[in-house]
Amino acid sequence: MAVKQTAGRTQLGEFAPKFAELNDDVLFGEVWSREDKLSLRDRSLVTVVSLMAQGLTDESFRYHLISAKANGITKEEIAEIVTHAAFYCGWPKAWAVFRMAKEVWADEEAYHG
């Protein structure tokens, strides 16, 4: 089940209220909530690769990596996803994603040792 998104209103509500509304209500409220069409896990996979392809490895990307992990993508799967996507998106972009993914999945590294 999707979590109600309020980041748009929290961070941009006063500055860009329409953008905040579209972010929270349409993108996350309508698109991400269509789990009968595509699972949250699959949506996370598509989002991570789409952002990687654009080279958008900022804090919003970190949020989507954390979401991907919460939606069931394992350390082994993210490594395979990024390795595969590197050939289509670019090697330097993969390096940037791997640096961030290692931080997000660090607890699995420590646990599996």
- The whole-number pLDDT of residue 44 equals 97
- The whole-number pLDDT of residue 86 equals 98
The token pair at 61 is: 């990307």
The token pair at 47 is: 């989002």
CA distances from 60 to 56, 57, 64, 65 (A): 8, 7, 6, 9
Quick one: 97 and 46 in the same domain? yes
Q: Which residues contact 21 (CB under 8 A, 6 or more apart)?
A: 8, 9
Quick one: 86 and 74 in the same domain? yes
- The whole-number pLDDT of residue 69 equals 98
Quick one: 79 and 103 in the same domain? yes
Supply the pTM of this predicted model: 0.85
The token pair at 106 is: 């660090």
Closest CA relative to residue 4, chosen from 29, 40, 41: 29
Residue pair 86/93 in contact by the 8 Å Cβ criterion? yes
Closest CA relative to residue 85, chosen from 67, 103, 72, 101: 101
Number of domains in the chain: 2
Quick one: 63 and 17 in the same domain? no
The token pair at 71 is: 């939606």
Quick one: 54 and 98 in the same domain? yes
Residue pair 51/61 in contact by the 8 Å Cβ criterion? yes
- The whole-number pLDDT of residue 99 equals 97
Domain coverage including residue 29: 1-37
Quick one: 33 and 44 in the same domain? no
Quick one: 27 and 47 in the same domain? no
Per residue of the chain (113 residues), give pLDDT as tens.
Answer: 556 778 789 988 899 999 999 999 999 999 999 999 999 999 999 999 999 999 998 999 999 999 999 999 999 999 999 999 999 999 999 999 999 999 999 987 555 55
